[in-house]
Amino acid sequence: MGREDPQLKLRLTEALKARVTAAAQANGRSVNAEIVAALETAFPDPAKYREELKFLDEIDEIQQRLDRIRAARLAEASESFTEEFIEENAEKIKGRPRQPKKKDH
C-alpha cells in the first residue's frame, strides 16, 4: 500500500482517535496502518481464503459422510442385536412368569 492508493477522508470522535492512536503505538504502526489493519480484519479479501474455505467445505462433507456411516452402523447393530437377543433368550422369556410391578409408596 502506497501513497498512490486512493485516499479516504475519515471523521473520528476524539475518543476513538485516541484509542486508534494508542493501538497504533502499541503495535508499532502509523495511525493509517492501524486503521488499514483493522479494516482488513473486519473485511477480509475472499480471494485469500478460497483454499481455506474449500478445505472447510471438504471437512463438512466428510463429517456428513461420517454421520451417515455412524447412523447406518447403529441401525445395523441395533437390528442384529435385537434378533440375537430374541433368539438367545426366547425360551427364557417364555418360561418365566411375569413379575408384578412393585408399587411405590
Cell numbers of 38, please?
483493522
**Residue 99 in this model has a pLDDT that exceeds 80:** no
**87 pLDDT tier (thresholds 50, 70, 90):** confident
- Are residues 54 and 91 both part of a single domain? yes
- The residue segments making up the domain with residue 86 are 45-95
d(CA 25, CA 91): 83
**Domains identified in the chain, total number:** 2
What is the mean pLDDT of the segment spanning 72-95? 72
Cell numbers of 20, please?
486508534
Q: Which single residue is written with the C-alpha cell 438367545?
A: 88
pLDDT score for 48 = 80
Tens of pLDDT, residues 7-30: 999 999 999 999 999 999 999 999
- Are residues 39 and 49 both part of a single domain? no
**Residue 89 in this model has a pLDDT that exceeds 90:** no
- Alpha helices of the chain — where are they, by DSSP H? 14-27, 31-42, 50-95
pLDDT score for 104 = 63
